Amino acid sequence: MTEPILKIGSLELDSPVILAPMCGVCDVPYIKLMRRYDQESLAFHEMFSAVGLLNWGRRKDNAPAFRIPEEVKPLGLQLFGHDPDAMGKAARILADAGAAVIDLNLGCPVPKITKGCDGSALLKDTSLLREILKSMIRAVPERPVTIKMRLGWDDDHRNHVEVAKIAEDAGVAAITVHGRTRSQMYSGSADWEAIAEVVQAVSVPVIGNGDLYDPITAVNRLKESGCKGVMFGRGAQGNPWIISRTAHYFKTGELLPEPSDVERLQVALDHCKLLIAEKGEKTGVPECRKHVAWYTKGIHASAELRHRVNQTQTREALVEVITSCIETLSGSPALA
């Protein structure tokens, strides 16, 4: 690599595009699929609880809480929690697991998380935030620590510039900004002007996030805001191609075609197989349903396919339903 396109501390990336952490979506099976198309962009795994990681460490069998398969790297791992000491220890566990970046969650809006002063609740307690960041950075001096924040708790408390400056001062290597407040949850639209205000206020790279669903919009947002990177969340659901297509468009100006309906279904099938292999039939089959719904949005007869998928209880039945749909669409036997 000559000049990296995005530099996050010591991590050099040849792509400005990042897969967002998303609970229930960005697990190892999904990221393995994304890596078929893109090996350069940073991907984030769904968040980890600091307390959960520390409790895991008390098990007698010494099994690691998480091990990153080589083929999904570079992988960023994200923590939520609020106790500085626990956050430092948990950051160390994630660094030892092979995280390329360790991120602090300052965005999660759900009451289960915020009532314990985790996630976006930390936007309201900037002195605690500073302590947490210092503890994490001290614990993993060799690895970049980053934050992923919202614009503030609500419209009356938009403190994105203040939070970003505190984080920069504490020593974070990059800042991701989701252009919504906590009280917006996912409603309204992301405020990219506010994201650009953070770009103006700090010298570390800023990664913009919110409402990106196609390569052209993403690259335009990147350029207009001055961000060094862009992050896809919901736009990557059922769409592991979006990261590579956007990175390619950024580098060449060429827009690669969308995958065909048959390719979408074939990848949905592979995704289901990977997910069930990883999590087992009982957990895996129900989890597959939402992924199939995302992959098949807009394709011919997708409502009927989704209905049939939702009735399945076993791997065999699920594979059979998707395979027969591929055969109907393509007119030839599927690679089951």
Ligand X SMILES: Cc1cc2nc3c(=O)[nH]c(=O)nc-3n(C[C@H](O)[C@H](O)[C@H](O)COP(=O)(O)O)c2cc1C
The nearer residue to ligand X, 86 or 326, going by C-beta atoms, is 86
Q: Are 163 and 172 in contact (CB under 8 A)?
A: no
Residue sitting closest to ligand X (CB): 233
- Kindly state the smallest distance separating residue 109's Cβ from ligand X, in Å: 9
Name the residue nearer to ligand X (CB basis): 9 or 21.
Answer: 21
Minimum Å gap between C-beta 19 and ligand X is: 9
* CB of 49 vs ligand X, minimal distance in Å: 10
The continuous run of DSSP H or E covering 11 comes out as strand 11-13
Would you please indicate which residues are annotated as catalytic (active-site) residues? Answer: 108
**Closer Cβ to ligand X, 117 or 317, answer by number:** 117
Q: How far is the CB of 44 from ligand X (least distance, A)?
A: 7
- DSSP letter assigned to residue 74: S
Q: Residue 268: is it exposed, middle or buried by C-beta count within 10 angstroms (0-12/13-18/19+)?
A: buried
Select 148 or 248, whichever has its Cβ closest to ligand X.
148
Task: Give the span between the Cα atoms of 118 and 80, in whole angstroms.
Answer: 6
Query: Cα separation of 272 and 238, whole Å?
Result: 11
Residue with smaller CB distance to ligand X, 47 or 326: 47
CB of 210 to ligand X, least distance (A): 5
Name every residue whose Cβ is closer than 8 Å to that of residue 96 and which is 6 or more positions away in sequence. Answer: 64
Question: Which residues bind to ligand X, rule: CB under 6 A?
Answer: 20-25, 46-47, 78, 105, 107-108, 148, 178, 209-212, 232-235
Q: Please report which residue ranges of 70-182 form alpha helices under DSSP H.
A: 84-96, 111-114, 126-139, 160-170
Q: Report long-range pairs for 190-194 (Cβ below 8 Å, ≥24 apart).
A: 191/151, 192/221, 192/224, 192/225, 194/151, 194/158, 194/160
